[in-house]
Amino acid sequence: MAGEVLMRVEELSLHAGGRELQRGLNFDVCAGEVLAICGASGCGKSTLLRHMIGLQVPQQGRVTWVANGADRDVHGDDPPQREIGVAFQAGALWSSMTVGENLMLPLELYTDLDLPQRERQARFKLALAGLPDAATFDAEPAQLSGGMRKRAAIARALMLDPPLLCLDEPSAGLDPLTSARLDDLIVRLKRDLGTAIVLVTHELESLFAVADRLLFLDVEAHTATALGPPAELRDHGPAGVREFLTRGAAVPEENAA
Ligand SMILES: Nc1ncnc2c1ncn2[C@@H]1O[C@H](COP(=O)(O)OP(=O)(O)OP(=O)(O)O)[C@@H](O)[C@H]1O
């Protein structure tokens, strides 16, 4: 259900290499929203994402999957693995497998679907991610362009129809046109599948095009200093956030004040 809270982050601290990067992070992720995580390089965006998907255990605080009245600690005995799809920076697909095999792997691990069913699902998800060419299924990841690999990684992250998709800098290294197409894909996934998406991004244009809310991690204050709609924060947020959101990039007209 749109608006339902899926994940709750409470009093979370982030540490890396013996340093405290962030403290006292409190926010929810709601069904069907795109939440962008922003902040200066090194503030801990990727580290936060790793905590949210259960890859890194917090020294303080809690990340809880709360959808459907459940209360499952992301780092506990019953983590919501199937509920969270993940596509990280490198768009890492297994290079020893074809794209199709990469996509079918989660179904093999987590479902009883037989091979023809798995294949049908994989082709469907590839088409959904904008890779409808049948040849892509049998291609090796190395044969795809960077943009296609990112799409294939997103398709794989969608194989189990997760209510939440986490993307770490999906546009990194892509040309502006490919990056804009990826933004379109994110908007379509949210609109057509109702998938909530948590997105780490540096790209202002992308941020204004896709995000419903923005969480700003301040690298100096070591905590989140803003959470809200990007256009609102650009116009009325704290000074550091306004500066970050207006650093010379064009703001789309529909969002301009
Ligand atoms: N495993 C690790 N060991 C030591 N230091 C780490 C580790 N992981 C991250 N760091 C450090 O923690 C800080 C935050 O890293 P993180 O990748 O979360 O930041 P970020 O905000 O995503 O940065 P960027 O925008 O540059 O990708 C960086 O200074 C990084 O060097």
- Say if residues 28 and 163 touch (Cβ distance below 8 Å): no
Instruction: Give a yes or no: residue 141 inside a domain.
Output: no
Instruction: Give a yes or no: residue 157 inside a domain.
Output: no
> Ligand 1 pocket, 43 CB below 6 A?
yes
> Ligand 1 pocket, 41 CB below 6 A?
yes
Q: What pLDDT digit, counting tens, does each position of 198-240 carry? A: 999 988 988 999 999 999 999 999 999 999 999 999 999 999 9
In CATH, what number is assigned to the domain containing residue 32?
Answer: 3.40.50.300
> Ligand 1 pocket, 47 CB below 6 A?
yes
Structure confidence at residue 2 (pLDDT) = 63
Instruction: Give a yes or no: residue 140 inside a domain.
Output: no
Instruction: Give a yes or no: residue 122 inside a domain.
Output: no
Structure tokens at 36: 């962008």
Instruction: Give a yes or no: residue 220 inside a domain.
Output: yes
Structure confidence at residue 14 (pLDDT) = 96
What is the ipTM, given to two decimal places? Answer: 0.93
- Average pLDDT (115-131) is 93
If you measure from the C-alpha of residue 183 to the centroid of ligand 1, how many angstroms do you get, rounded to a whole number?
25
Count of the separate structural domains present in the chain: 1
> Ligand 1 pocket, 55 CB below 6 A?
no
Q: In this model, does residue 257 exceed pLDDT 60?
A: no
CA distances from 170 to 38, 63, 73, 110, 202 (A): 13, 23, 27, 25, 10
Proportion of the chain above pLDDT 90, given as a percent? 69
Q: What pLDDT digit, counting tens, does each position of 56-96 carry? A: 999 999 999 998 888 999 998 888 888 999 988 655 788 89
If you measure from the C-alpha of residue 46 to the centroid of ligand 1, how many angstroms do you get, rounded to a whole number?
7
> Ligand 1 pocket, 45 CB below 6 A?
yes
Structure confidence at residue 94 (pLDDT) = 87
Q: What pLDDT digit, counting tens, does each position of 8-59 carry? A: 999 999 998 889 999 999 999 999 999 999 999 999 999 999 999 999 999 9
Instruction: Give a yes or no: residue 237 inside a domain.
Output: yes
Q: Which residue range is the domain that position 211 belongs to?
A: 1-83+196-249
If you measure from the C-alpha of residue 126 to the centroid of ligand 1, how many angstroms do you get, rounded to a whole number?
31
Give me the DSSP letters along 89-142.
Answer: TT----TTS-HHHHHHHHHHHH----HHHHHHHHHHHHHHTT---HHHHHS-GG
Ligand 1, atom nearest to 200 Cα: 22
